[in-house]
Amino acid sequence: MAEEQAAAEPVDAKTVSESELRSLFEDQALPFMDQLYGAAMRMTRNPADASDLVQETFVKAFAAFRQFKQGTNLKAWLYRILTNTFINTYRKNQRNPYQGTIDELEDWQLGGAESVTQSISARSAEADAIDHLPSSAVKDALQSIPEDFRMAVYFADVEGFSYQEIADIMKTPVGTVMSRLHRGRRLLRGLLADHARETGIVPDAASTATMRGRGRKTAAAEGRVEGKEAR
């Protein structure tokens, strides 16, 4: 029993040998590589830059792995390194940067805003759309959103991070995260709605009105027929 309890305790990375540290890092961190690459692609929008960004992230993460507190959120820790590396290096020199300005909102006067200490407990409509719409449509829509809004939506609705975790990753106040997420979701919702109408997944407003009109006419005609039969 004592041996099982000891085995369940987190390894102290500060005291293990270099080879043990490398093995521990490979076991714990490498499984996140594909997810980090997906995030890197949404940041850089360039495969070569994304690969370089992920590689540099893992180099930095391994160098700092002895300082990582075992048993805490490794995924969020890796994403924070990824985001910091992007901000400090690739945002300045990326091959295909986003051209535009980001409205740095500090207020978070959102419709029905949750508490700043609350985690994202319920899935958003955007998260459901990401699951059900074609991946190419979601990717194109996300790539059309300004960078800060895009990453807030990605971290929340794709990766499932809480407000506080996103704030830690992006080094911004929780209120700013909520504002960016609110605006990013609104932009994404509009783009996905346009795609759904264009592809016929849902009818456009004109078609819906026409269909409703036809439905009312049909119902009226059926009512007249029923009236005649009753007589």
CA atoms 135, 89, 47, 34: torsion sign: negative
* 133 and 67 within one domain: no
d(CA 94, CA 30): 25
* 86 and 131 within one domain: no
**Number of neighbours of residue 209 by Cβ within 10 angstroms:** 11
Is 109 within a domain?
A: no
Is 211 within a domain?
A: no
**Total domain count for the chain?**
2
Is 114 within a domain?
A: no
Is 99 within a domain?
A: no
Q: Mean pLDDT per segment of 10 residues, for the chain of length 231 residues?
A: 49 78 93 92 87 95 92 93 87 50 30 32 54 66 86 88 92 94 90 73 50 48 48 53
Instruction: Look up the CATH number of the domain holding residue 37.
Output: 1.10.1740.10
What is the pLDDT at residue 101? Answer: 32
* 31 and 89 within one domain: yes
What is the pLDDT at residue 210? Answer: 46
What is the pLDDT at residue 104? Answer: 30
What is the pLDDT at residue 10? Answer: 63
* 133 and 60 within one domain: no
d(CA 129, CA 121): 17
DSSP state at residue 111: T
* 134 and 87 within one domain: no
Q: Which conformational region is residue 112 in: left (phi greater than 0), alpha (psi within -120 to 50 degrees), or beta?
A: left
Domain extent at residue 152: 125-198
What is the pLDDT at residue 145? Answer: 87
Cα separation values, 62 from 19, 21, 27, 70, Å: 12, 9, 12, 13
Could you report the per-residue pLDDT of 196-223, keeping only the tens digit for each?
677 665 555 544 444 445 445 544 544 4
Residues 6+ apart with CB under 8 A from 108: 116, 175, 176, 178, 179, 182
What's the whole-model pTM score?
0.59
Is 105 within a domain?
A: no
Determine contact, residues 106/175, Cβ cutoff 8 Å.
yes
Is residue 206 within a helix (H) or strand (E), and if so which, with residue range?
helix 205-230
Instruction: Look up the CATH number of the domain holding residue 137.
Output: 1.10.10.10
Is 213 within a domain?
A: no
Phi and psi (nearest 5°) for 111?
A: -65, 115
What is the pLDDT at residue 103? Answer: 35
